[in-house]
Amino acid sequence: MTEFPLDERNRVRRLPERGWYERDLIYQIVDEALYCHVAFVQDRQPFVIPTIHARWDDTLVLHGAPASRLLKHIQAGEPVSVAVTLLDGLVLARSAFHHSMNYRSAVLFGRGRLLAAEEDKLRALEVLTEHLAPGRWKDVRRPTRQELKATWVAAIPIESASAKVRSGPPKDDAEDYALPIWAGVLPLQLVPQEPVADPQLGPDSAAPDYIVHYARGGSPG
Binding residues for ligand FAD (CB under 6 A):
35, 47, 49-52, 63-65, 67-70
Of the two residues 49 and 101, which places its CB atom closer to ligand FAD in the complex?
Answer: 49
Which CB, 25 or 132, lies closer to ligand FAD?
132
Of 1 and 67, CB closest to ligand FAD: 67
- Distance in Å, CB of 51 to ligand FAD, minimum: 4
CB of 62 to ligand FAD, least distance (A): 6
CB of 172 to ligand FAD, least distance (A): 35
Q: Which residue has the closest beta carbon to ligand FAD?
A: 64
Minimum distance, C-beta of residue 179 to ligand FAD, in the bound complex (Å): 40
DSSP for the chain?
--BPPP-TTT---SSGGGEE-BHHHHHHHHHH-SEEEEEEEETTEEEEEEEE-EEETTEEEEEE-TT-HHHHHHHTT-EEEEEEEEEEEEEE-SSSTT-EEEEEEEEEEEE-EE--SHHHHHHHHHHHHHHHSTT-TTTSPPPPHHHHHT-EEEEEE--EEEEEEE-SS----GGGGGSS---EEEE-----------TTS-TT-PPPHHHHT--------
Give the nearer residue to ligand FAD in terms of CB position, either 61 or 158: 61
